[in-house]
Copies of this chain bind each other. A is one copy, B any other.
Amino acid sequence: MEYKEAKEKFISTWGSLGSLWGINKAMAQIQALLFISTKPLSMEDIMEELKISRGNTSMNLRQLMDWGIVTKEIIPGERKEYFTTEKDVEELARVVAKERSRREIKPVVKILKDVSSINDDGTEKTKEFIKQTKALHELTETMDSMINKVVNQQQNWLTKSLLKLFK
């Protein structure tokens, strides 16, 4: 396999994987492109490489910046804006996990807590509802706490310690 083919395969795979980490295709592809680039890229560069429109590029770059994964790079003497992504995979994983926890898991934990706290009127269906949503609440909270613990560790802790632990 040649560089060009491998690159295209990587970008498209990473793009379709977007759903797994909760972002859209273009967003994932832009990140993938920056991830393997040896230098910061301009909006033009990205549009050209991925064959997507200016508006699309602009909106998705903003979202990537909101996630904290991509940063603007100002190149002295240049008018254009350039972009780079976090190059360290573990830091990347940490940021993604943290954001998903904040955006998606925490709100759900809150709702599970609320709905599992309804008054027990003694009926079977209410008892079952409380029991099941409580169990879900506890599991979700445990998972979230795990994620956040991992996320707050030092560089390399993730691979080194966890791999030992689980292998």
Contacts and interface: CB of A to CB of B under 8 A. Distances in A.
B162 A36 contact: no
A111 interface: yes
Contact of A118 (B1, B100, B114, B158): B1
A79 interface: no
B139 A89 contact: yes
Interface string A1-44: 11100110110010001011010000000000001111000000
A124 interface: yes
Contact of A7 (B17, B20, B129): B129
A146 interface: yes
Contacts of A1: 114-115, 117-118
Interface string A126-145: 10110011011011001101
A3 B108 CA distance: 18
B22 A133 contact: no
A118 B10 CA distance: 12
A37 B128 contact: yes
Summarize A's interface: helix, strand, loop or mixed. helix
Interface residues of A, number: 55
Contacts of A19: 19, 22
A6 B36 contact: no
Given A3-B121, A104-B17, A128-B38, A9 B162 contact: no
B132 A159 contact: no
Contact of A125 (B3, B17, B150): B3
Top 8 A-B pairs, shortest CB-CB distance:
A149-B166, A6-B115, A89-B135, A6-B118, A89-B139, A10-B115, A36-B129, A13-B111
